[in-house]
Amino acid sequence: MNEDLTITPSLVIPAADLSWEFSRSGGPGGQSVNTADTRARVRFALARCDRLSPGAKARLAAAHPGWLTSDGDLVLTSDQHRSRWQNVVDVRRRLAAAIADALVRPAYRVATRPTRSSQARRVDEKKKRGGTKSGRGKPRDDE
């Protein structure tokens, strides 16, 4: 558990920013579920981490509001597996994937206007469709 978390070759989260807790799991495990502390919970000190940019921190917090505590920490839990080690690996993998996703800046969208010909095509198609639908009505008496 005292291992650094490698996100990319140039970004490593130090083990000091991660704190681990283990508890009894309600998941699979048979009889050993009542005796072994297999649930893994990691607390990532997001607010105090100096390895991530403020933008990446904001994107990470916005993408996973359910993981965020009032202290500004991210808390992830896993009890999917029977062994503590597999749950630790699962939590580390999920946290690394979430941080890697937050590192990607969203593409800046440049607003464009439709061309005059595309607007004309759209209006013509709407008129054609409206004519088709109006022909489906009940016949009028004046015809």
Mean of pLDDT values over 92-100: 93
**CA count, 13 A, side-chain hemisphere, 129:** 6
What pLDDT band is residue 1 in, cutting at 50, 70 and 90?
low
Helix orientation angle between 84-103 and 54-63, rounded to the nearest 10 degrees: 120
pTM of the shown model: 0.71
Q: Which domains does the chain have, with CATH numbers?
A: 5-103 (3.30.160.20)
Tell me the Cα Rg of the chain: 27
pLDDT in tens, 101-132: 999 998 998 999 999 999 999 999 999 999 99
What pLDDT band is residue 3 in, cutting at 50, 70 and 90?
confident
Cβ count near 107 (within 10 Å): 6
Phi, psi of 69 (to 5 degrees): -100, 175
- Three-point CA angle 32, 33, 35, nearest 5°: 65
